[in-house]
């Protein structure tokens, strides 16, 4: 990679490093605090009994099955909703901040007035989004693995890593969607609105559609179902789930890139 190409990736990453650090520490703190409460839950039957009294659909929708086991505890508290939601949100925010928001503010024009192609500038920023999402995912895994031992939470590391990677890919998919929207129209509220709308909508589809006989067959349309439908903390995941998230993420980023090279750059 040439120095110029490297600068197109690393400079946007440098510009967003504070935000990325804040995301990493926030999600990391959530993971550590959650794990820190495990010893208090372990072995208590009261909460398990309470959850067992909930309707089965609600238990399933919010991942509360087996809440008294390490896998059930982590799934219900972190990996069924919060971690995938936050990784998706972060990836959308990175994509919006490095493309639509920069263009809307007129700062992208300073870069595009240099001897770089539009496609290279956009690709550099897309790679920066991917890199930050990947690094956030790694930090989540690191916080989880490092806090499991001192708090006595025993869970298979391979299943945990598979789950975290699937959550990261789910985030990357939504980052790719945000890049596609930003490539088509440089309006930050639209990029955030569509990105977060699809993220939350996907959760609703995956969590609530199975409660309805009529809607249950459509739950498989949600990327959340592709990522977490196999209950990876317990069962691992089939390879197609990684491809189903990663390939559309890349395709959506390419859609954004092509669209960006074909339209006018917005003036400040």
Chain contacts with another protein (rule: CB under 8 A): 3-4, 7-8, 11, 15, 105-107, 109-118, 262-265, 267-268
Q: Using CA of residue 212, residue 215, residue 218, residue 221, what is the dihedral sign?
A: negative
CA dist., res. 128 & res. 5, Å (int): 12
In sequence order, the 6+-apart residues with CB closer than 8 A to the CB of 188 are: 96, 100, 101, 104
Name the minimum Å distance from CB 26 to another protein: 20
Name the minimum Å distance from CB 95 to another protein: 18
Name the minimum Å distance from CB 254 to another protein: 20
Nearer to another protein, 60 or 109 (CB): 109
Name the minimum Å distance from CB 4 to another protein: 6
Nearer to another protein, 122 or 143 (CB): 122
Nearer to another protein, 36 or 105 (CB): 105
CA dist., res. 165 & res. 61, Å (int): 21
Nearer to another protein, 58 or 112 (CB): 112
Three-state secondary structure call for residue 263: coil
Nearer to another protein, 108 or 177 (CB): 108
CA distances from 17 to 35, 98, 107, 192 (A): 27, 12, 17, 20
Name the minimum Å distance from CB 76 to another protein: 39
CA dist., res. 43 & res. 76, Å (int): 16
């Amino acid at each position: 990679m040439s120095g110029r190409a490297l600068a197109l990736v690393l400079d946007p990453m440098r510009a967003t490093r504070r935000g990325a650090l804040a995301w990493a520490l926030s999600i990391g703190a959530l993971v550590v605090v959650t794990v820190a409460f495990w010893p208090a839950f372990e072995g208590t039957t009261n909460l398990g009994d309470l959850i067992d009294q909930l309707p089965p659909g609600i238990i399933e929708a919010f991942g509360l099955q087996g809440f008294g086991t390490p896998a059930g505890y982590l799934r219900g508290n972190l990996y069924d909703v919060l971690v995938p939601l936050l990784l998706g949100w972060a990836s959308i925010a990175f994509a919006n901040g490095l493309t639509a928001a920069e263009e809307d503010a007129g700062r992208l024009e300073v870069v595009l007035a240099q001897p770089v192609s539009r496609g290279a500038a956009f690709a550099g920023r897309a790679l920066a989004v991917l890199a930050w999402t990947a690094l956030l995912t790694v930090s989540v895994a690191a916080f989880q693995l490092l806090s499991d031992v001192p708090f006595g939470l025993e869970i298979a590391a391979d299943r945990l890593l598979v789950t975290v990677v699937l959550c990261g890919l789910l985030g990357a998919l939504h980052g790719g969607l945000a890049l596609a929207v930003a490539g088509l129209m440089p309006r930050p509220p639209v990029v955030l609105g569509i990105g977060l709308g699809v993220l939350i909508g996907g959760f609703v589809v995956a969590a609530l559609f199975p409660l309805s006989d009529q809607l249950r067959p459509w739950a498989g349309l949600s990327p959340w179902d592709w990522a977490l439908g196999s209950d990876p903390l317990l069962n691992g995941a089939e390879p197609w789930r990684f491809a189903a998230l990663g390939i559309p993420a890349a395709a959506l980023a390419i859609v954004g890139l092509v669209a960006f090279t074909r339209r006018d750059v917005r003036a400040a």
